[in-house]
Structure formats: C-alpha cells, structure tokens
Structure 1
C-alpha cells in the first residue's frame, strides 16, 4: 500500500480527473472506474459533486485551493482481497489517521490498469468552515500506510517493483492527458490532478528545450524512458498537429439548378404559343386546348397574311 499526496486544486479539475470527465470516453468507459463511497455530496454524477464541493468550500473563502487529492495503490498480490468494501474500509481508516474528517469526500476506484488503486478527493474546508489540519502530511501518510499494511497483512513491495509500477502508471496517465491536447500548458494542467509534473531541460548551445522529464513526486523519468512517443520532439509535433486540426464544418447544401429544354415551335404556331404561355402565367385561368373554333383559326391565318400598310400620302 502506497499513498501519494497529489496537487491541491479546484473541484472541477480534480473531480473531473478521477471521474474521467475529460478522458476519451471510448477508452475510459463506465466499467473502468466507479464511485465506491462518498459523504456530504448531493449525488453521484460529476456536476452535482462539483457543485457540492464548491458550496462546501464557500464556507471558508480564504483557502484558494480547497480540494485535496490522494491516490492509494496496492501490490498486485493483494488484488484478490481488494473488494470495494475492503477498499472503502482502508480508505476511511487512512483518512482517520490523516485527520481528514468532518468534511465532504468521494472515493473513486480505477480499474483500467493492473495496479489496484483508488483516489480520495476531499474538501479541505470542513463542515464547520475550518481548514483541515494538513501539517506534516507526508510524514503522517508514511506512518498511516505502514500501520495499515501491518494491521491487515498487506504486501510490502520491493523498490524495483515500485519503479516498474510507477512507469506503467505514468504511461497510462500521460496517454490519457494527451487526448485531443493542443498545447504544453493544457498538457500540464491535465497532468497536475494526476500527480505528475513536467520538467524541460534545454540544449546547452541553443538554450531551446531538448528533452522532458516526468515526476510523480517519488520517481522521475525521461519521457522516452516511459515511452518513445513521450519525447519532447514527438509530443511537440503531436500538440502542433492537434492545434492545426479544425473541426469539420457542416457544408451548406449546394442549390441544384435545373434547366428545362423547350422544343421550339414552328413559326406558324407563334401566336398559339404566346396565348398558351400567357394563360399559364396568370394561373391557368384560361387554358388553350386542342381544337380551336374553325372561324377563329381562319381569322388568325388571315391576320398573318395581311400586308403591312405603306407610309406616305394616299393617291
């Protein structure tokens, strides 16, 4: 059993991290994590829990980062014993030893890695509006985990195994933070609730960033040591590519132009066409049908043949 005291912050970021609110939902599905216990919050969904923490924090506005975050992990050998109920029991005993009491909290178990672990998210402002005493937290945490391991016979992991587990945990957290990430600043903000800090080291000649290191507070690794895709250059290109991708905008429908070809009528039928077209234009009130009156047709033909009048005096 190892407890890591992670960065303090706001409810939206930390609760969002443990409840996978900002992760790829296709990968981090509902069966990769679950809320196993809570107290003092209104519901079990992200928004209601954040609102609950914000209301609790308003009792003491002098605390700028009102939400605490602790990750507690276990050796794989203890997995058969680690039911949700047993994890909740261990979490409550750990919080009691740490002095985290009379306050809001949630306990979220993560299941996407082979390393069993849970996260404690608590309000640093207790129900009476006072700040939780966090003096000597790291020393208290070390003593609390040791006492709990001895009490319940949990596995003490060797240093090498801790080292290998740390690499695996960091790899998963970094990959999650990379999802649709577009800048180094955004990357750092996403990793902070996961307890990972980012450090650059520069080229001696140019002074420009050359490499990157990741640290969880206990172990520090070069990016390429964790995964080749985590080198400074590859990450930089990855963020630049994401920043250049624009969401596809819906295309406007292209108007379809239809041109109807009309068969030209012989000159002899021009008058009939004019009459028919005019009738259709006024809504079909007058329609020209086949079979005109014979006398009317004779009159039209006569009009066509009538010679034009000549200009000038009459003789």
Structure 2
C-alpha cells in the first residue's frame, strides 16, 4: 500500500481532474476519458451532493481562512496488484476515516473517490484543510506520518507490505535496501531495453513489460513497478517516455525502409538483371 499526500489551491481543478480526467480535444474524447477513469464517490464527510454542489460547499467553508493559500488536502492510496478486490468499499472508507483521525481532519469536509483505471486499485481523498471553526489542518511532517500510517493499515488489513521510505531508515537499512534497489534497477533497465528493441508502439512495449511482471504507468511520463512494488520512473532508467517514443519511431522508420528495399529486391526482373551483371563481370 502506497500513500501520498499533497496540498493545493483549487478544489474545482482537483475534483474535475479526478472525475473527468485530463482535458481532451473534443466532447467525445472527454467522455471516453471519463469512462476510462471509472471514478466513483464512496464516502462523504460533512458535505454532500453533485460535484458542483460539493465544490461550492468546500469553497464556502474555505473562506473562513481567506489568507490560506493552499486549502486543498489531496491524499491517495494505491494498493498492490496482489491485493486487487481484497478490500470492500466500506473497508476502503474505514481506512480513510482512520487517516482523517490520524491527520486531524475528521471533523472537516472531505470526500473519497475510487478509480479503476490502472492495474492497481487506488482511492483519492479530497479534504478541506479549513474546518468549520476556521482552524487549519497542519501538513507538517506529513510524508513520514503517511508512511507510518500505511504500514499500520497493511498489518490491520493483511495487505502486501511496502518498504518504508528510504529517508526514514537507519544507515544500515539504507545500505542494504540501496543494493537491492540498484539490482532491481539494472534488471529492469535490461528488460526495458530488450522490450524497446522488440516493440513498435508504446502499447506493445507496455504489454511486453506486463508479461514480465511489471506494472506500467502511462501519463505525461512512464513508470514501472515491480512485484515488490518498487517504482522507477523511465527517466531514472535513462529512458523517459519521450526518449522511448523517439526510439520506437526510429525503429518503425528503419523497418519500413527495410520492407520497401525487400519489396524492390523481389520485383520481377531485378534478380535477372543482377545475375547478368555478375556474369558479365566474370567474363571481362
């Protein structure tokens, strides 16, 4: 179980993205994006209604602290592929309620949204950092607190454990895990480069990597997650999404050139002309 927590400025932008996905060029493509995300609200806390109604409610309470620049608390939990369908909606909501109590926003407005648009299940929490009393939820040390909370939930719900963030480990633990990560990184790089050489599209590459046990995240960039849930960005491997795309395009171009050359070679008369040239060369 991997947890992330950030703060932001705009409730509308955050919620629209979670419901509708990235902005598309047409209504038809936007509808496809929404269907792909499969967003579903499974829990409301001190707010309720349609997306626009919830946004209005959040903004109204946020005005109780107009000086706060980042009133949006956006957290997410990603579950391992092995844990797919292990938790019910109620259990997911219970995890978020426990988190809200741990981070001190259980009396504030928040909603819980599930997504099923990737290989691993994940949930999002959008909360108002401003409470009805005008006080603000602190985001101090949230990274470490989130890591500790995830470890507790893994034990409570018997979820696949994930290594603690490296910055909170002892020097000895960092050294051991660092060696493991380096080995995983090199193995992944080798498999990725082999897959790139055998693929002609990003989708084909994705399928090849998934067959080898890696989850592939595609968005503005590309990332790979191994069976131990260790995640590497493509750029960490020396192969960003732009770099991979350029290689695939180049490979397709070379393949097309070879195909055309082969077609010309097999045209009627070509073989005979070459044979006559060789015969003539020997007779001189």
**TM-score normalised per structure 1:** 0.52
**Change beyond 3 A, Cα 1:230–1:41:** farther
Deviation at 1:77, TM superposition (A): 1.2
Deviation at 1:7, TM superposition (A): 4.4
Name the SS of the counterpart of 1:147 in structure 2: helix
2:115 is equivalent to residue 110 of structure 1: yes
2:159 corresponds in structure 1 to 154
Stretches of 4+ aligned residues off by more than 6 angstroms? 163-167, 229-232
1:27 corresponds in structure 2 to 33
More helix by share: 2
Aligned 1:37-48 pairs, distance under 5 A: 37-43=43-49, 45-48=50-53
2:216 corresponds in structure 1 to 168
- Contiguous gaps of at least 5 residues in structure 2: 24-29, 164-180, 189-208, 224-230, 249-284
Q: Distance in 2 between matches of 1:103 and 1:144?
A: 19
1:54 to 39, 55, 59: 59
Deviation at 1:22, TM superposition (A): 4.7
2:239 is equivalent to residue 225 of structure 1: yes
**Change beyond 3 A, Cα 1:96–1:230:** farther
- Contiguous gaps of at least 5 residues in structure 1: 176-195, 197-217, 235-315
How many pairs does the alignment contain? Answer: 189
Deviation at 1:62, TM superposition (A): 1.2
User: Which has the larger Rg?
Assistant: 1
Per-residue CA shift, 1:144-168, capped at 9, x if unaligned?
A: 111111122110147659x999973
Name the SS of the counterpart of 1:36 in structure 2: strand
**Change beyond 3 A, Cα 1:219–1:124:** farther
Q: Distance in 2 between matches of 1:89 and 1:117?
A: 14
Aligned 1:86-101 pairs, distance under 5 A: 86-101=91-106
Q: Distance in 2 between matches of 1:155 and 1:69?
A: 23
Indicate conservation of the 8 Å contact 1:32/1:110, yes or no.
yes
Indicate conservation of the 8 Å contact 1:101/1:126, yes or no.
no
**Change beyond 3 A, Cα 1:128–1:28:** same
| Residue range with higher mean Cα deviation, 221-230 or 132-141 | 221-230
